[in-house]
Amino acid sequence: MKKSALLFVLLLFFCISPSNSISEDSKTILQYKKALEADPGNTEVRYLLGMAQLKARDYQAAIENLNIVHEAGKEDARLIFGIGFAHQNLGQLDDALVYYQKVKGMTGAAGALKEELSSGFFNLGLEYHEKKELDKAIANYRESLALLPQEGAAYCLIGVAYYQKREYQQSLQNFETCLKSDGKENSWAKDYAASIYEMKGLEYIKNKELKSAAKEFENILKIMPGYEKARYYQCYIRYAEGDIYNAGSCLAGLKGLKEQQAQEGAGIILFNIGIVLQDNGDWNGSIRALKDAIFFRPGDIEQHLYLGKAYLETKDYDNALLGFQEAWRLDPDNKDAEAGAAMASDKALINHLRAGKDYLNAREFQKAIEEFDKVLAVEPNHKEAVDAKEKAEGELRTVLIQTEKKKQDAVGQRIRIAREALKANEYNKAIASYSSALKLDKENQEALRGLQKAKFTKAALIDKNLKPGKEAYEAKSYYQAISHFTLLLKIEPGHDEARKLLHQSQKALNSTVAPLLKAGEELYNNGDIEKAAAQFKKILNIEPDNVAAKTYISKLDDIFAKKALEKEVQRLYLKGIDLYTKGSYADAITLWEDILKIEPRHEKALLNIQKAKRMIKSTGTISGVRG
């Protein structure tokens, strides 16, 4: 915490608003002074005057007045802290420390003023640090931490002080504590810690304690993953341990290095690995190591010579020639490079001539021609190569004529498939078939026009569904949006925007329909079928093909139909009773027989029919017979 920040804390502590103007401070001080003139022995007024002077940054006057109050016997932590604060701002650090220590020793005072006192010690530490009084700086930082242990910055500054004292182990311990408590804030602390880890690691390497060295560089990478030299030294340790394969792979992974020293070291180690692998007969491994070495140190002639030698051993004469030629270019007087280039050139010529003949016999004429061209590039008048090339070219022309016919047949077949796919609105298939035809014949006009038409039609259909789908989505017409996006994805399954919007529409539709469906089910289960039916119809207005709602509507239709029949049966029954009562027995029988057509086992209808017939028989009356 800097002085300005500390001052603000203290002003708050002393309950003095920092927003008052200087003139207001002066008025306050003047008032207190007048009060003292009237009552010189009033320590409370003198205390307030000292605090006002402290706020006005008249530190010397503040000290004089606060000391008078203190000497008068006032043992107040705020007063003593204020005296210390004034001394600190006058640069009287040792005096300030005496008063801060006194506050610290007062019962309960350190707790009440914990934050202010911690800041005071911290700032004293900073000022001692600036004066290079490192032990005093460390002591004050520790006093600050004793009050507020969570303040990680103090640990970092203690680490810096110990670093300046060259007491690296103590320095590192404090930096580690600092980074654990406040690692995000202190990138400079990481630099210090990394520097110490590196020194320790190099010392371990010097003493051949390689495992211990590896741990130190691992510590660096935990706090600074991009620290290039630490990564380089990890690779070096593997090399020093004799693990040259892993060392080579490790160094090859450092091709983004910007650190010049690490680049140079990586190149040298890889070169040495390449030589060792040649001695071990691992020519391919040597080639990999030497190519990586050249990446780091492209101007080293020896690396190119050894690379050329390795390629000679693997019979890769073209790359061997390139290696020797690069060494020769770097040093035109180098006899080894000149001799190696000549040898590689001769062997490459023989190799290409043999390969050309093999390709010719295998009827791979284009490859044969390419091999003979490589021979002629070195020796233009090589008769055997000239003759063999002419033969290969003649055979190739015959093959090309036959191939062209097959190609055109294949093109025609692909175009026919594309035409049929286009008719069936299978646009991706049409596009794929037209594109396949154009791979065989890139100038085919029918394929070009067909491909253009298929793409245009597909794009138009996508637009036709994408825009209205998005509009429907924005209008919360999710069912319509789903229909559009589903159609679009049939046309273009890989359309990411449509897929995303379809998912969102389905989710939104479900969140809309789900509570309606739940409410409908509850109404249905509670027997309120009219309201249930209205609820399910509401769902179908939103999502016409909602399976659950359709199922419930079907069930409800059955219930309504059954209730309608029951109602009709009841109406016929009661009408029959009315007719019977009026003596219209035949009409009553007719109505009850209509009931039996609906419900053949209706017991009351059956009984009443028998009863009515008996009445007709006993009375001989057939009233209201309907013709």
Give me the pLDDT at residue 624, please: 52
Q: What is the DSSP letter of 106?
A: S
The whole-angstrom separation of Cα 524 and Cα 572 is: 29
> Mind listing the pLDDT tens digit for each residue in 272-310?
999 999 999 999 999 999 999 999 899 899 999 999 999
- Tokens matching residue 279: 């001695």
The whole-angstrom separation of Cα 595 and Cα 547 is: 36
- Provide mean pLDDT across the span 537-557: 89
CA triple 276-277-280, angle to 5 deg: 90
Half-sphere exposure of 567 (CA within 13 A, CB side): 6
pLDDT band, residue 103 (cuts 50/70/90): confident
Average pLDDT, the chain: 86
The whole-angstrom separation of Cα 118 and Cα 100 is: 9
The set of residues, in sequence order, having a beta carbon less than 8 Å from that of 222 and lying 6+ positions away, is none
Neighbours of 232 (CB within 10 A): 22
3-state secondary structure 549-564: HHHHHHHHHHHHHHHH
pTM above 0.75, yes or no: no
Give me the pLDDT at residue 13, please: 40
Give me the pLDDT at residue 252, please: 87
The whole-angstrom separation of Cα 548 and Cα 117 is: 72
Per-residue pLDDT at 457 exceeds 80:
yes
pLDDT band, residue 185 (cuts 50/70/90): low
- Tokens matching residue 151: 């303040």
> Mind listing the pLDDT tens digit for each residue in 238-265?
999 999 999 999 988 888 878 888 888 9
pLDDT band, residue 59 (cuts 50/70/90): very high
- Tokens matching residue 66: 């606060």
Per-residue pLDDT at 183 exceeds 60:
no
- Tokens matching residue 476: 């919360």
Among left, alpha and beta (phi > 0; psi -120 to 50; other), residue 620 is left
Give me the pLDDT at residue 573, please: 92
User: Which residue is it, tokens 């003649």?
Assistant: 394
- Cα-based torsion angle of the residue sequence 210, 212, 215, 220 in order, rounded to the nearest 10 degrees: -90
Per-residue pLDDT at 17 exceeds 60:
no
Q: What is the DSSP letter of 334?
A: -
Among residues 14, 17, 1, the alpha carbon closest in space to that of 120 is found at: 1
Give me the pLDDT at residue 111, please: 65
**In order of start, what are the domains of the chain with their CATH numbers?**
1-149 (1.25.40.10), 478-564 (1.25.40), 565-619 (1.25.40)
Contact criterion met (CB below 8 Å) for 481 and 472: yes
The set of residues, in sequence order, having a beta carbon less than 8 Å from that of 263 and lying 6+ positions away, is 257, 296, 297
> Which region among 6-10, 282-286, 419-423 has the lowest average model confidence (pLDDT)?
6-10
The set of residues, in sequence order, having a beta carbon less than 8 Å from that of 518 and lying 6+ positions away, is none
